[in-house]
Amino acid sequence: MTESLRLPCRRVRQRLQVEIRQRYCQQTVLKTSRQRLGGGVILGNLFLILAAFLISGCRPVSTPPVAKVGLIAPFEGPSRPLGYAVLNAVRLRLNQWNESGGTPRLELVALNDDSNPELAAKLVAQLARDPDILFVMGPPQSHTASTAIPALIEAGIPAISLAPVPDALVDQIAPFAGADSSLLAALTPFVGEATPTRNAETSPPLIWLGDPQTLAELLRTRPDLIAAAGPVAAEEVIDAWAGDAAEGLIWAGACPPSLPPEFPAEYAALAGTQPTFASALAYAALDEALASFAPNGKLSQMDLSFPTMERPPICVYVREDNSCCKTLSSP
């Protein structure tokens, strides 16, 4: 029952309840006059019975079960475009699930991590308090995923990572965006030996998987340290912070081999902009989860063996001619 139908129903119940109380008071006051009232008392009792029937009939009809999908991403600050690219992709796929009659009906709980690793980890406690959360997606940044994912594992919440994660976490989650070693393997033919890291103190050359601000600063001031990067290189904010210093930067990220042909148009209709690398990955991750664990349109928490999810391959790109994503290598 929709909210627009519930409200009139609620008002009917309230009016009837008031009427019942008034009738009850009248009957109490006139208790000594029952003989004289005769049929009036009978009619009053019939009113009470009818009112009770109407109230019970006004209760909402049973609704399909509802479960929730959590999302941790940056919805404020410089990385806001990334957060909303992911949010809109997840919303689109959830809308499709619900409109097709999938069970349970899925709602989204999206929390802002401000691109802050400490905050990202703390948000897990908030999600853990909600028993209706089936699983959590994100964060889409590797430096926040490296803190949020361990917290999700500790809380026992199934997680789908939307950013590369350390290899030690791979067997405990669905690492849809790959692991440090998978990015290293894809990038080595292009940049030689380098170390995936989220810490600027690591010995160079570096494959930078950390925050975008540090990447931009290193590109401007110490470009010799950066051999390549992860998906952070695709963030819009890199253009503003690094400018021409980002030109020629090679980077790698998980690339879904196929998306529904209608995805770009449906995403644009919802978001008002074209899908990005991150939105395509987020849509594909949720689509794979639903396809793998709810092939008949029914999803159960008992089915969420996320490490068995098929992961997309890793593609290699270069930032060139004001474009983040010119493909150098793809399967």
The residue range of the domain holding 15 is 3-57
Q: How much is the pLDDT for 193?
A: 95
Q: Which of 64-68, 117-121, 238-242 has the lowest mean pLDDT?
A: 64-68
CB 299 within 8 A of CB 134: yes
- Residue 111 sits in the same domain as residue 181: yes
Number of other residues whose CB lies within 10 A of the CB of residue 303? 14
Please give the backbone phi and psi of residue 277, each rounded to the nearest 5 degrees, phi first: -55, -45
State the average pLDDT for the chain: 83
- Residue 237 sits in the same domain as residue 312: yes
Q: How far apart (Å, rounded) are the C-alpha atoms in residues 285 and 282? A: 5
- Residue 38 sits in the same domain as residue 81: no
Residue 96 has pLDDT above 80, yes or no: yes
Q: How far apart (Å, rounded) are the C-alpha atoms in residues 285 and 153? A: 18
- Residue 188 sits in the same domain as residue 318: yes
Q: How much is the pLDDT for 308?
A: 67
Q: What is the pTM of this model?
A: 0.80
With a CB cutoff of 8 Å and minimum separation 6, the contacts of 129 are none
Cα–Cα nearest to 138, from 86, 204, 101: 86
Number of other residues whose CB lies within 10 A of the CB of residue 322? 9
Indicate the SS3 state at residue 72.
strand
- Residue 176 sits in the same domain as residue 39: no
- Residue 36 sits in the same domain as residue 96: no
- For the chain, what is the domain count? 2
Residue type, 221: T
- Residue 204 sits in the same domain as residue 228: yes
- Residue 117 sits in the same domain as residue 168: yes
Who has greater pLDDT, 24 or 112?
112
**What sign does the dihedral 197-198-199-205 (CA atoms) show?**
positive
User: Which pLDDT tens digit goes with each residue over 160-174?
Assistant: 999 999 999 998 899
